[in-house]
């Protein structure tokens, strides 16, 4: 996980490491991901495609998801996100444990592919 900036699902992680450790089960991958989540080393992202994705960057940041190919990108250094967080705290008086902001759209590659098909 620490060697990628993608946001793989458990099955993709299992597929990536099965050659290194042929005896590892998918259940072990899920248990390990759950342990890493509990100690805040990774974050779980649900983008609405019935698969949990995982992010090794546990710092607070937004994501943008392509609704055509489901690519997920990190959106760092957006100053207004901290302002939104502070405003939510101020208006709700909640003690925020974590936040997750996800934007949805179509990536430039998928836009180009759709233009080529038209």
For residue 112, name the pLDDT band (cuts at 50, 70, 90).
confident
Sorted by where each starts, the structural domains of the chain and their CATH numbers stand as 1-58 (1.10.10.10), 59-118 (3.30.1490.190)
Q: What percent of the chain has pLDDT over 90?
A: 60
Q: Tell me: the pLDDT tens digits for 18-56?
A: 999 999 999 999 999 999 999 989 999 988 878 899 999
Residue 65 is predicted with a pLDDT of 94
Cite the DSSP H helix spans in the chain: 10-17, 26-38, 79-92, 108-117
Residue 117 is predicted with a pLDDT of 67
Cα 73 to Cα 5: distance, rounded to the nearest angstrom = 8
Cα 97 to Cα 64: distance, rounded to the nearest angstrom = 21
């Amino acid at each position: 996980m620490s060697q990628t900036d993608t946001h793989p699902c458990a099955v993709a992680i299992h597929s990536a490491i099965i050659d290194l450790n042929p005896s590892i089960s998918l259940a072990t991958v899920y248990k390990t991901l759950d342990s890493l989540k509990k100690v805040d080393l990774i974050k779980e992202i649900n983008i609405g495609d019935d698969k949990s994705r995982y992010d090794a960057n546990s710092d607070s940041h937004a994501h943008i998801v392509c609704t055509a190919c489901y690519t997920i990108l990190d959106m760092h250094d957006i100053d207004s996100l901290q302002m939104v967080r502070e405003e939510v705290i101020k208006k709700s008086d909640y003690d925020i444990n974590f936040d997750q902001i996800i934007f949805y759209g179509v990536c430039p590659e998928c836009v180009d592919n759709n233009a080529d098909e038209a």
